[in-house]
Amino acid sequence: MYDNPVIGGFHPDPSVCRVGEDYYLACSSFEYFPGVPIFHSRDLVHWRQIGNVLDRPSQLDLPPETSASAGIYAPTLRHHAGRFYLITTNVSGGGNFIVTADRPEGPWSDPVWIDLPGVDPDLAWDEDGSCWSAVSGNQVARIDPEAGKVLEGPYPIWSGTGGKYPEAPHLYRVDGWWYLLMSEGGTERGHAVSIARARSPRGPFEPGPVNPILTHRGTDRPIQSTGHADLVQAADGGWWMVLLGTRPRGHSPDFHVLGRETLLTPVTWVDGWPVVGPVEERHPAPDAWHPFPETPSRDDFDGETPALCWVSPRGRPDGSWSLTERPGWLTLHATGPTLDRPGHTFIGRRQQHHDCRVTARLDPGSSRAGLSVRIDEAHHYDLEVSDGQARVIARIGPLRQCVAEHAVPPGPLTLALDFRTRDILPPSATGPAAEPLGIEGRGPDTIAFSADGVLLAELDGRYLSTEVATGFTGRVIGMYVIEGSASFDWFEYDAGGGAGGR
């Protein structure tokens, strides 16, 4: 058996391709740099990050005014004629573009821009080598991916069954048919996947006999918002679907805090149409089983460049960080005076488990620095050290408040964040543990903040959720400095809590 999600945390809009017995997958990254994380697998279940497609400013230029949940949308990853192609959209400037690479880990080329309207662009090749790109809307055009030119079209094609926001179109050529897979209904709880087919990518497309072929809307399944899918045929001939979904927690309307995650589900073909069952938390595994060695949970900052998992909002200027200035430490230099506006120094990683613990060793010097859990500039919790004090600061929409303060020594100290899901008791529960359900008992989790073993505060996690903050991303936990310079000796992310930790 395998567990969903196969890539936890804020890894939405997955696109997958197979090369021999190897699978490669890319996800949206929105306002974060480097952009478009890329993963490798041998069995579709165990994934290891091998790079970031857009890892240079010449590839990813996100202006300071780039808003949260803008930036890079919905890549499509394909392999054709011995080369990797990735097409995506920078909604904050430039539109659609293509990058290529000989190896999936890179280096990837600089962007080739293409004058094609819409987002969520796709790539597919015909028998004669013609390249087609479908975009949300829905339209399709024949393009030259090397020159970035539209050669024919765009033509209007099937727009789904009538759900809002028809998006994420993918074209596949299977047994003489062109299949158009797309999502509709919005990326929230009404998300769905639908299918149509035609003899030519130009259409006309006939819808499948049963649409949508996948949706969890209106159900009480623990996985919700299933959609934005991509298909892949395995090396053994079987078919699989990768897609995004969420795992809401707490009291109605439920809150999802990790963002939209990457899921995997099997596909069968019946009378020439793909059939997909509900996406379960546990599924029978593919025949291949190839776990990778576990990724170290601790970063001691002994390398010359940041690990692949580290991201920063909008960019990471060279002068804002150093791994050589103080060997064995990550030194951060302030580039902005507050986390409440763009332009600050922050390096973080995605929260991938509901129950987890994050610890870091900080030498604050004379800086203002610490750990932050963020959705965006208007929704973050901070454990900040300055002037001999550790403070817990909550920014929720227009409100900002210091909720706790404690004296700490001037030298290095250990900061800790503990994330714990809540067990919601029914109103009829009795006994010593049956405390009344108050407003604080209805969120998805509790976040506890400690400095050198002293608990400073516990905050309700619902305010760092998509349902409160809005947008397309999830929580990112990281290190920051907003005054002077600070150094971090190590950072550790410990997934825990058993099954609840997923």
List pLDDT tens digits, range 279-304.
999 999 998 899 998 888 999 999 99
Instruction: Give me the catalytic one of 13, 122, 184, 230.
Output: 13
* Ranges in the chain, pLDDT < 70: 422-441, 497-502
Q: What is the pTM of this model?
A: 0.94
Question: How far is Cα of residue 350 from the mean position of the Cα atoms in its chain?
Answer: 8
Query: Which H or E element spans position 224?
Result: strand 224-233
Could you state, in order of their start, the residue ranges of all structural domains in the chain? 12-283, 298-501
Write the CATH number of the domain with boundaries 298-501: 2.60.120.200
CB burial class (10 A; 0-12, 13-18, 19+) of residue 401? exposed
- CA–CA gap between residue 197 and residue 203 (Å, rounded): 8
| Sequence-distant (≥ 6) Cβ neighbours of residue 431 within 8 angstroms | none
On the question of a common fold for 12-283 and 298-501, the answer reads no
pLDDT, tens only, 343-355: 999 999 999 999 9
pLDDT, tens only, 50-86: 999 999 999 999 999 999 999 999 999 999 999 999 9
Sign of CA dihedral 307, 111, 68, 186: negative
Known catalytic residue at 13: yes
Known catalytic residue at 236: no
pLDDT confidence of residue 151: 97
Instruction: Give me the catalytic one of 43, 120, 167, 418.
Output: 167
Residues facing 96 on adjacent strands: 89
Question: For domain 12-283, which architecture applies?
Answer: 5 Propeller (2.115)
